[in-house]
Structure 1
């Protein structure tokens, strides 16, 4: 039981960390080594000063949807972590972690919706259609897809997890 408890806790902390990196990281879209965009800013590298010059992305409904869903996912993941520890101490023997599992699965579904919107509407989110063909998705975008799998898998695992002594 101690091994399983430790594994579940480490998986949850790892997933929460990766989710925060995916949400607030600086690389959702990349244009070679000279530019990148995240959910908040679009940055270009200035060769003269060797600094990144960033400006906020133009606000669109799709961008707001992705931002809200990613933050909501991080909140649900954190809440499910707190609920897990509360249930761990107050739940009776043999109880199932339904609330934790549902919160975690819902975090996965909101991340899935955010990444799907970003995938299908990246032209509207980035507002730079001429540069869209020369770039590619960045590492934070890939981490968000990994989070979808980890969150849904751990949510299902929590639903079937039973408290033992």
Structure 2
């Protein structure tokens, strides 16, 4: 039982870290090795100074919905972890972690919706005149997709986890 509890806690923390990286890091769409776009900025790498020069993205309704859903996913997962810690110390023996699992599942569904919106509306989100076939999805987009099943599985595990002494 202790092994399951530690494993589930580690899964939750790893997934939360992956969500934070996917939301805040700059690589949702890669045009070239020196030009990338994320949820917040369009960045170019300046070879002379060896730094990234970033400008705010052009706001669109689709981009704002992806931003909001990814932030909501991080918030739900964080609340889920804090509630889990609280329930772990206050819940009576035999109780189930329903609220924790529900928050974690909501985090998974919001990340899923954000990834779907970015996948199907990337032309409107990127708002660029260039051909999208010249770019590719970045590692943060892939991390966000990887978080979806991890969040949903951990949400289901939390719902079935019973507190024992």
Q: Shorter chain as normaliser: what TM range?
A: over 0.9
- Report the equivalent of 2:156: 156
**Structure 1 residues 1-165: aligned runs within 5 Å:** 1-165=1-165
Query: How many residues in Structure 1 have an aligned counterpart in Structure 2?
Result: 165
- Give 1:51 deviation, angstroms: 3.0
Gaps of 5+ in 1: none
Q: How many Å apart are 1:8 and its aligned residue? A: 1.0
Q: Deviations over 1:45-69 (max 9, x none)?
A: 2344443221111011001000000
Q: Which sections of structure 2, spanning at least 5 residues, go unmatched?
A: none
Moved more, 102-111 or 5-14: 5-14
Q: CA deviation at 1:5?
A: 1.2
Task: Tell me the TM-score normalized by structure 1.
Answer: 0.96
CA distance in 2, matches of 1:52, 1:106: 34
2:71 and 2:81 map into 1 onto residues whose CA distance is: 15
